[in-house]
Structure 1
Amino acid sequence: MYTHLNSLGIHEPEKIERYALRQEAHKDVLKIYFHKQKGELFAKSVKFKYPRQVKNVLVDSGSHQYKEVSEINRNLTLVIDELNKITKPQKLSETDIKGKILSDLKHLEKVVTSKIAEIEADLEKMK
């Protein structure tokens, strides 16, 4: 049913909780989060990078000037369509967005703190 998600190796789409999409340089980064399993501190996630499609668009036909523009990869739009069917994203109010940003910041702080502790432990092993 979800052929594009299956092609990414996601064979149990019902376990998907949400997804995030951001742009890095000339790539779009899709991160898919799965429902947290019992005993896990963080939910599992997978990340996919898609190169942006670059096109030359005619800006001025009189002088034949073209401008290079980039747009989202067609395969990524198909994957997002399938993800939207699964996650049924809702429009957030401004206060909901602020709450989500604070929640994301707290999560990021936990991840960074955990990673710093892991690196410090590795350094201690080297002494």
Structure 2
Amino acid sequence: MFPNLTGLGIQEPKQIERYSLRQEAHKDILKIYFRKQKGELFAKSVKFKYPRQVKNVLVDSGSHQYKEVTEINRNLTLVIDELNIITKPEKMAEVDVKSKILKDLRHLEKVVACKIAEIEADLEKL
């Protein structure tokens, strides 16, 4: 039913809760978050990097000047279409930016605290 997601190695696409997409240099970074399973502190996630496609676009036909532009990878657009079917994302205008930033900050605090505890436990073993 979701050939592009299964092609990425995702066995159970229905377990996907949400995803994020960001651009870094000449790559698009797709991160897929799964529903938290019983007994897990944090939900699992996987990250995929897609190189952006580079194209030369004619800017001025008189002087034959071209400009190099990048655009999203076609395979990534197909994956995002499938993810949108599964997650049914909210409209960006409806999302309160301040509450989203605060939610992201709280999540980051939890992740960092968990990682610090993990490192301290490893130190205790030494």
Mind listing any 5+ residue stretches in structure 1 that lack a counterpart? Answer: none
Quote the RMSD (CA, aligned, Å).
1.7
Q: What does residue 13 of structure 2 align with?
A: 13
Q: What does residue 103 of structure 1 align with?
A: 103
Mapped partners of 1:3, 1:94: distance in 2 = 30
Structure 1 moving runs of 4+ over 3 Å: 92-95, 116-126
Residues 31-42 of structure 1 aligned to structure 2 (within 5 Å)? 31-42=31-42
Mapped partners of 1:123, 1:65: distance in 2 = 59
Mapped partners of 1:78, 1:3: distance in 2 = 10
Q: What does residue 65 of structure 1 align with?
A: 65
**Aligned pairs, number:** 126
Mapped partners of 1:119, 1:62: distance in 2 = 62
- The Cα of 1:112 is off from its aligned counterpart by 2.0
Mind listing any 5+ residue stretches in structure 2 that lack a counterpart? Answer: none
- The Cα of 1:122 is off from its aligned counterpart by 4.3
- The Cα of 1:96 is off from its aligned counterpart by 2.4
- The Cα of 1:43 is off from its aligned counterpart by 0.4
* CA shift in 2, pair 1:95/1:2, >3 Å: closer
Identity level (%):
81
Per-residue CA distance 1:27-48 (angstroms, 9 max, x = gap): 0000000000111110000000
- The Cα of 1:111 is off from its aligned counterpart by 1.3
Per-residue CA distance 1:39-68 (angstroms, 9 max, x = gap): 111000000000000001111111111111
Query: What is the SS of the residue equivalent to 1:57?
Result: strand
Mapped partners of 1:83, 1:52: distance in 2 = 19
Mapped partners of 2:109, 2:11: distance in 1 = 31
